[in-house]
Every structure is written in C-alpha cells, then in structure tokens.
Structure 1
Amino acid sequence: MIAGRVPCTNPACRRTAPKARFPEADTVICRPCFRLLPASLQRRHKTFFARDRKLSKLANRIQIDGRVEQWNRLVDIVQRSSDRINADVDAFFRPVEKPAGIDAFLEEIGL
C-alpha cells in the first residue's frame, strides 16, 4: 500500500484516503462503497459516528475529574458499538469463500 494512505474497507476497491486525516484508522470506507451498504447499516453507521463526534466535542469541553468511572464506562460502550458496526461493514464486503449454487449443495449432501 502507498505510504501515508489508508485503504478502503472494500477489498475490491482501490481508493485510499490520506493518513493525516485518519491517523488512527487502519481502513476507511469511501463514499461509493458506503452507498453499496444496506440502508439499515448506513443509518447505524451515520447515527453512531454523529454521536461519536458529539461525544468527542463534549469531552474537549468538560472536566471529568470526579466522573472518571462513568466516563470510562461510556468510552467502553462507544468502543463496543464501533467494533460491532465495523465488523458488520467488514462482513458485508468480505468475499464469499464458496459460491452458493447447485454444485455446492450437491457437494454438501455428498452426491
């Protein structure tokens, strides 16, 4: 991969994004590939990342001195949600190992 660039999540896509814009990301999803996702997954993705941006802005504004335990719990919840959404996006673009069809069915039943 090109140095200083982050590849798209879709392995069939050759688009990249600048690493400076996404410093901690291993992969990103480009707009054309994002449009390929089912509408429900697009909604989940947009909703989560909008809430994540709001939470980041809030974290920069407030002092969390006495609420460290609550803040850590909230960060854990956000991280789990992010992991679930990213796993669903990766699963959508993961290539199917074996094509579904009559040959696969016959092999499965032993004929």
Structure 2
Amino acid sequence: FALLGHRTYLIPLTQCVSFHSLTVRPDATFTINCKVSYSVTSYATGWIRQPAGKTLEWIGVIWSNGILYYKDSLKSKFSITRDTSSNTITLQGKNMQAEDTAVYYCARDTQ
C-alpha cells in the first residue's frame, strides 16, 4: 500500500498478523483489537481492508514512534490507537455504512 504517495509497502502474507470479517449496519460503530507478538514501539502497524470483490484499501498506519497517518478520505471515519504495555493496536470505526463491510487486516511493516 502507498503512504503519502512516496513510499510503497509490500506486505508478505507472513506479515499479516490478524484479520476480521465485518458486516456493518448503517451508522454502526465498531472496535477491533489486534494483539501482536512484536513490540509496537519497534514496528509500524497498519490497517487495510478489502470489501468483497474489490481491491485492498489502505486505512491508516501507526508508526513505531506513535505518529499516525490516515487515508484522507477515511480519516474522519477511523481512529487507530495502541497500547504499548500489551502490544495491542486498535481500530475504531464510526458512522459505518453498508459499503464499509469488508475483511479488515492488521499488518506489520516489513522494516
């Protein structure tokens, strides 16, 4: 996935640490917790989704230093947080619509 148009991340399957299939109801909210086996202060972790029959869509990333970036069109809909004590990355969605139904992937940067 591309971040800010200047770096492309290739995520091997082994780097996909969790996935969740969500069927969304209109105006729903949700929270997905992704507990990882690595230190979240050592690697960036991103969230990606794939609606049925469509391509992967990058949602956002939290860098090892805690800095966040979101896809512009989704930044008002999603929020990414982390708990460094439990190495958990959380994706929260709000005002979801049927078109937000997708498989949501939590993935670690390869570097």
TM-score after normalising by structure 1: 0.20
Q: Which has the larger radius of gyration?
A: 1
The structure with more helix, counted as a fraction of residues? 1
The structure with more strand, counted as a fraction of residues? 2
Higher RCO (C-alpha 8 Å, min separation 6):
2
TM-score after normalising by structure 2: 0.20
